[in-house]
Amino acid sequence: MTDDLTNSDSSAPISGIHASVLLERTLELLAPALGRPGAVLVDCTLGLGGHSEAFLEAFPELHLVGLDRDPNALELAGRRLERFSARTDLVHCVYDEIDDALDGLGIDEVDGVLFDLGVSSMQLDRVERGFSYSQDAPLDMRMDDTAELTAAQIIASYPEAELRRIFRDYGEEKLADRYARFIVQARDETPILRSGQLVDILQTATPAKLMNAGHPAKRVFQALRIEVNAELSVLERALPKAIDALAVGGRIVVLSFQSLEDRIVKRELQRRSVSTAPAGLPVELPEHRPELKLLVRGAELAGDEERARNPRAIPVRMRAAERLRRVA
């Protein structure tokens, strides 16, 4: 999720700079489903509205439902999309609540769904949000700053075994055991409240021979962010709901920025894109036919030009599918 605004102060005029990853390709993939009159697109990760703005401009009859857990993003996106206000509904919720959001709007089915996962530029670039290990800030990492759990609370209260688990499972960190042990030892002496403190602890814990193998805080910060925002469990709940909301002929596009997300997306799309007919059945019954048709081979990457222009496009993995039939 990589929309940038030249001025994110809510009292100042906004001038948008599009840095939305794979924007043209996303438009291309969703276009066949969104060109029909009365089409509805759900942008499950509205962010600052870069993708949504492009879709509303491209499809004059499109209705947009934009979801975001970050109230600050919703406010800024609302200003950006103000000229389309008659065709937009913006909802403050986590995207696994897509079914409730649509029910609340009286929408039975939709024609397109977009997930642009990860952290938005606004969240990354605002130091006080605590997502970055490169600048000292409070250990926060909440995508929704009205939520309760922060990274500082995790560091202060999780047992060593739990810290080790999230570093290993969510950060794929080989030094998870060592980092968890050093953190617990350090917090016994003084509270760890800021990102700079945590970075110092991780650097101290990293063996000298591994110091050139990437920043030691990168995977730990990813793991903490995922835990704070329950990102993987939310995605696991959201994807089936989003697919179920699609009309026949509707399409879904998902942009993932780390392997754990992409595995969840791959598993769900592949599961619904194969026949469920028992082995040896001579005729495939309608209820066994695939629900989805995959629209790209594997996970599609950003091209060299986009990766050079926008470094945040480097890790993106895109998957897309079309709804073939409804399940009885």
Residue ranges of the annotated binding site for S-adenosyl-L-methionine are: 49-51, 68, 95, 116, 123
Residues 154 and 82 sit within 8 Å (Cβ to Cβ): no
Bridge partners of 116, per DSSP, are 255
Q: How many CB atoms within 10 Å of residue 120?
A: 27
What residue type is 63 in one-letter code? Answer: H
Q: Which of 94, 91, 133, 116 is nearest to 22 (CA)?
A: 116
Give Cβ neighbours of residue 54 (< 8 Å, ≥ 6 apart).
18, 20, 23, 27
What residue type is 319 in one-letter code? Answer: R
- Angle in degrees, CA 241, 52, 268, rounded to 5: 25
Give Cβ neighbours of residue 275 (< 8 Å, ≥ 6 apart).
284, 288, 289, 290
Q: What is the spatial distance between Cα 282 and Cα 15, in angstroms, rounded to a whole number? A: 61
Q: Which of 288, 294, 289 is nearest to 252 (CA)?
A: 294
Looking at the chain, the number of H-run helices and the number of E-run strands are: 13, 9
What residue type is 199 in one-letter code? Answer: V
Q: Which segments are annotated as binding site?
A: 49-51, 68, 95, 116, 123
Q: What is the spatial distance between Cα 209 and Cα 279, in angstroms, rounded to a whole number? A: 53
Distance set, CA 270 to CA 106, 144, 262, 294, 302 (Å): 30, 31, 12, 8, 21
Bridge partners of 119, per DSSP, are none
Pair of tokens at residue 146:
């009205």
Pair of tokens at residue 102:
């649509």
